[in-house]
Structure 1
């Protein structure tokens, strides 16, 4: 089956969703340095430490990725009131993750220490106590899930099972019942070898090693078609709607009913696979919550995992990362060009700004596009990284230019501008001036022709309020739509 690439439009709306993550949280510590010699005490490398750092791991990393994609995020997990636990809480709070701590006996905060030379892990040290959550703890988790659900807000639930004691079968069953009552999709990152533990899930996402273990197949099995057919037959049990099997560099196999779809992964240099599964789960969950189909949500998750693999350590993937990746993958005819919805356009502009890009705005009627228009657009684009063009609507043009204008309808004028290589986004405004549009997208630079003085440029004062500026472009002499139109009338005569 051929898979159509995601459109960048598909990531819009993530910020209007919520995701509740339940699972095993942990703190990942890294000691980074260089190795230049072998110890004289034993045949081991000597690490010259350059820095120490901490990141959220496990279910906490999933929650951080969800929050980075724009969704309101609640993490329900267990950690202790110890130093690693306080560090974990600090990291979560800094990422706008609402955290609910559930006591799991006297278990300390799960901590993983990775020692890294260059970009190569040379040792990992784990500290953990996997005591099971008791009945009171299970009740507290379910109550926290119920309390976190916001009526009327599109949502998804993630069960992040790292087999560290929190996510038992009874808890999973209770969460699934709550999700059914609220009609909320559930995404599972599994560790149990029994797929039946996750009955009720919308998507279960094992990696290939986990999948063959669940399917009771030999560890030496390879991810060929025959093996995947057996996995599909054994794991797609009643109550599990879909499987998304991660095949590392090959991509993801999505299994729904009798259909199987291979979603490829873009080739890239892999730096570290730590946390890539968390990034994938986050992308799937936010995608489902925002209304994407199962296939589209898994595509978003696969893309997020690929980005994470290209970064050292446990990584967080943002909506900016996802949008940029989509713009790389989609063909030009699928990229957003003409965007009439201002709020949608404002979200695109905000994402571009978050990526550090400078946004330039120009406006006009652009009736019979001519060399003067192109010169203005070329110079405008040179002032930044993204050029947004606002076009007067047909009614606005008639009020401005008279009843015989425009010569071309707004749809044609927008389509022509969209084809100009200097232009990134084209929109339309019905008002006599673009002031409301400018206030909505808040560009860094407003460009006008030299028939205006800087103090006459609409929106200039507004732009100064948010740190923007006005730039005046020298117009070409003797070139205008009016003269072109008059010339055509003369020739027709």
Structure 2
């Protein structure tokens, strides 16, 4: 078994600017929820008192929405009709960041699945569908839509084939799409339905669940033992398929590559509903590959997304904030990003922390020759909240404020030292004379300064008050400063 490479918040933040094109079977998922407290007098069936009737995008549409929620530029190529369900599907997709290329399948209606739920338990599902396959014109239209969305020179792009065997993805169209990806060096991720693995020849990753993998392999087994998984790998890793990501439900995901098998365990959590979890996994895998991550890193992100989706009732959309929160909660201090120079990325991480109910403290300064006074300020600052962000003056900013002989240490060294201080969660840099714009970007709950300032003199204080924050003044240690330290060094040298 191969060791798992680490996954950090920086990997998720790296999704920005990546693109994914999804082609597959889109559908409308409806949920009618209520309570059952009696049996019908007409037949021995429960009577549901309806309390909620809602619709969500399902199938390939849910996969596309999950991908877009991860901050990925997303295009959906799928079939739906100009009917009530189709218009509802378009309404759900609008405003999500998913660009759509709808394909018509003759008179076939939009696929619709109605789930009736009592409490947390599904009691029946009703499907409305017509499995008429795409005709030749439809196949050409779908392929051209994918090619146009991918472009001629794609970079940081992936393709998802979301196959629900509902008529959209015949063998010819799937073959053409995978060959397009191979010709452009674009990874193709497949969520399969066909029992014939040859339909997906040439794919980068095929993601069956264990039951589907058994069917594809012509095997029977009750559990994913080593021998069974070895045989599955031998029979399915063929025809140019680079890897398999086999979902093993509560056990985790088995990643099968040409030279290794790797188990990615499932995170323990309460399962509310598995509907759409596979779409969430595909979304995470595709986002990771599009952003340039390795197969194992991408599947870890997909596994995490699927676990989050399982903890929510109904077909769920998992966002980049959800993944960041999961990673931040699980990470030890040494695994955190530490230094983050991009303010947008920092603002995302801070927002995740605040959404989790944590209070954010901000301190700033030059922090040249870190000394006991600095550490005392940082210690008290950290005691005022859950997350401490430190803003550091850039070298240019420091020279303007302190004179041409400063800083004594370049900003990279000053930030590296601060990152190692156990009270500090995130370090960033600002090039302006004051951190006002940085403070506005991250909106801390508390701004900390030393007692050489009055509260009304603290930059950003008025801004913080506007969003419910405050200023806190820390008493400075007497006789301790970078200036005195540097002067002392000069005296000793003399």
Shift of 1:7: 1.3
Contact 2:450 2:473 in 1 (8 A): yes
Matched, 1:183 2:159: no
Cα offsets for 1:82-126 (capped at 9, x unmatched): 111111000001312111110112111111111111111111111
Map of 1:167 onto structure 2: 169
Cα offsets for 1:426-482 (capped at 9, x unmatched): 123455443564466565654433433456444567x47995866242535736436
Q: What is the DSSP-based 3-state SS (H/G/I as helix, E as strand, rest coil) of the residue aligned with 2:94?
A: helix
Shift of 1:143: 1.1
Shift of 1:365: 2.9
Contact 1:23 1:159 in 2 (8 A): yes
Matched, 1:203 2:205: yes
Shift of 1:8: 1.3
CA–CA separation in structure 1 for the residues paired with 2:291 and 2:483: 50
Contact 1:80 1:109 in 2 (8 A): yes
Map of 1:471 onto structure 2: 471
Matched, 1:131 2:132: yes
CA–CA separation in structure 1 for the residues paired with 2:41 and 2:333: 59
Q: Tell me which moved more, 68-77 or 403-412.
A: 403-412
Contact 1:5 1:329 in 2 (8 A): no
- Following superposition of structure 1 onto structure 2, how do residues 15-54 of structure 1 map, counting pairs within 5 Å? 15-54=16-55
Cα offsets for 1:34-66 (capped at 9, x unmatched): 122222322222212111111001001100100
- Following superposition of structure 1 onto structure 2, how do residues 82-121 of structure 1 map, counting pairs within 5 Å? 82-121=83-122
Seen in structure 2, the aligned counterparts of structure 1 residues 335 and 449 have a Cα distance that, compared at 3 Å, is: same
Shift of 1:18: 1.1
Q: What is the DSSP-based 3-state SS (H/G/I as helix, E as strand, rest coil) of the residue aligned with 1:16?
A: coil
Map of 2:196 onto structure 1: 194
CA–CA separation in structure 1 for the residues paired with 2:406 and 2:46: 77
Cα offsets for 1:248-280 (capped at 9, x unmatched): 111111111021111111111111111000000
CA–CA separation in structure 2 for the residues paired with 1:120 and 1:316: 20
Map of 1:244 onto structure 2: 245
CA–CA separation in structure 2 for the residues paired with 1:346 and 1:480: 33
TM-score by length of 2: 0.89
Contact 1:371 1:479 in 2 (8 A): no
Contact 2:158 2:186 in 1 (8 A): yes
Map of 2:337 onto structure 1: 336
Q: What is the DSSP-based 3-state SS (H/G/I as helix, E as strand, rest coil) of the residue aligned with 1:31?
A: strand
CA–CA separation in structure 2 for the residues paired with 1:404 and 1:95: 51
Q: What is the DSSP-based 3-state SS (H/G/I as helix, E as strand, rest coil) of the residue aligned with 1:184?
A: coil
Q: What is the DSSP-based 3-state SS (H/G/I as helix, E as strand, rest coil) of the residue aligned with 2:338?
A: coil
Cα offsets for 1:186-233 (capped at 9, x unmatched): 000000001010012110000000000000112x44210000000000
Map of 1:302 onto structure 2: 303
CA–CA separation in structure 2 for the residues paired with 1:466 and 1:65: 34
Contact 1:26 1:112 in 2 (8 A): yes
Cα offsets for 1:259-314 (capped at 9, x unmatched): 11111111111111110000000000010000001111111101101111111111
Seen in structure 2, the aligned counterparts of structure 1 residues 74 and 381 have a Cα distance that, compared at 3 Å, is: farther
Shift of 1:184: 1.1
Matched, 1:14 2:31: no
Considering only aligned residues, what root-mean-square deviation do their CA atoms show, in Å?
3.1
Q: Tell me which moved more, 48-57 or 345-354.
A: 345-354
Seen in structure 2, the aligned counterparts of structure 1 residues 472 and 221 have a Cα distance that, compared at 3 Å, is: closer
Contact 1:390 1:428 in 2 (8 A): yes
Map of 1:378 onto structure 2: 380
Map of 2:223 onto structure 1: 222
CA–CA separation in structure 2 for the residues paired with 1:385 and 1:95: 32
Contact 2:217 2:235 in 1 (8 A): yes
Shift of 1:345: 3.1
Map of 2:159 onto structure 1: 157
Cα offsets for 1:334-368 (capped at 9, x unmatched): 21112345454344345546767664432013344
Gaps of 5+ in 2: none
CA–CA separation in structure 1 for the residues paired with 2:100 and 2:466: 33
CA–CA separation in structure 1 for the residues paired with 2:103 and 2:428: 49
Seen in structure 2, the aligned counterparts of structure 1 residues 356 and 107 have a Cα distance that, compared at 3 Å, is: farther
CA–CA separation in structure 2 for the residues paired with 1:93 and 1:243: 33
Seen in structure 2, the aligned counterparts of structure 1 residues 348 and 91 have a Cα distance that, compared at 3 Å, is: same
Q: What is the DSSP-based 3-state SS (H/G/I as helix, E as strand, rest coil) of the residue aligned with 1:388?
A: strand
TM-score by length of 1: 0.89
Seen in structure 2, the aligned counterparts of structure 1 residues 374 and 327 have a Cα distance that, compared at 3 Å, is: same
Shift of 1:68: 0.6
- Following superposition of structure 1 onto structure 2, how do residues 50-89 of structure 1 map, counting pairs within 5 Å? 50-89=51-90
